[in-house]
């Protein structure tokens, strides 16, 4: 399935996030990631929604339904070639420090904490595929815990 990213600007009011998620749920879409933050305009929030959907008509339908919400100011789909998509993962893992160093030149991560000789907490930032590649290469069996932000996206 193709990952689709929608960017919506909406009024910063209680219950808007619930309205958006319920609308998407009613349409039987699975939200892959959802990221919300303040915009540069006071009282307006910026929401990045990623869905996995191959049919562009279904994505268009979701956008039309979102646009009907009173609180939504604008909504559009971001093209992968004309936008940046990034996320951050914080990973607690148990791995030898020497082995971890092998990955540092390919995955520019930051060591946030070293709990012991073999337990580290890292921050990895970049495209989703970059983070997935790091997790696969480091070995999922070495991961104790992971927290991911979800995708943030911006047009070029």
Do the domains spanning 3-78 and 83-155 agree at the CATH topology level?
A: yes
Q: In angstroms, rounded to a whole number, what is the distance separating the alpha carbons of residues 112 and 120?
A: 8
Report pTM. Answer: 0.83
pLDDT tens, position by position, 69-111: 999 999 999 998 899 999 999 999 999 988 998 998 899 899 9
Topology classification of domain 3-78:
Alpha-Beta Plaits (3.30.70)
Using alpha carbons, select from 23, 13, 50, 20 the residue that is nearest to residue 127. Answer: 50
E-state strands within the chain: 3-11, 31-38, 44-52, 72-78, 83-94, 110-114, 119-126, 143-148, 152-155
Q: In angstroms, rounded to a whole number, what is the distance separating the alpha carbons of residues 28 and 21?
A: 11
Residue 83 near residue 156, CB atoms below 8 Å: yes
Domain extents in the chain: 3-78, 83-155
Q: Which CATH superfamily is domain 83-155 in?
A: ACT-like. Chain A, domain 2 (3.30.70.1150)
pLDDT tens, position by position, 12-29: 999 998 898 888 888 777
């Amino acid at each position: 399935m193709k990952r689709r990213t929608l960017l919506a600007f909406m009024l910063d009011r209680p219950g808007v996030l619930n309205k958006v998620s319920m609308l998407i749920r009613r349409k039987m879409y699975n939200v892959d990631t959802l990221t919300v933050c303040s915009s540069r305009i006071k009282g307006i929030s910026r929401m990045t929604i990623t869905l996995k959907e191959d049919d562009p008509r279904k994505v268009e339908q979701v956008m039309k339904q979102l646009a009907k919400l009173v609180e939504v100011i604008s909504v559009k789909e971001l093209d992968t070639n004309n936008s940046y998509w990034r996320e951050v993962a914080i990973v607690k893992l148990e791995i030898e420090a020497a082995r971890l160093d092998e990955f540092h030149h390919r995955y520019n991560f930051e060591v946030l904490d070293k709990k012991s000789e073999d337990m580290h907490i890292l921050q990895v930032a970049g495209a989703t595929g970059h983070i997935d590649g790091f997790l696969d290469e480091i070995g999922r069996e070495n991961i104790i815990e992971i927290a991911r932000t979800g995708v943030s996206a911006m047009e070029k």
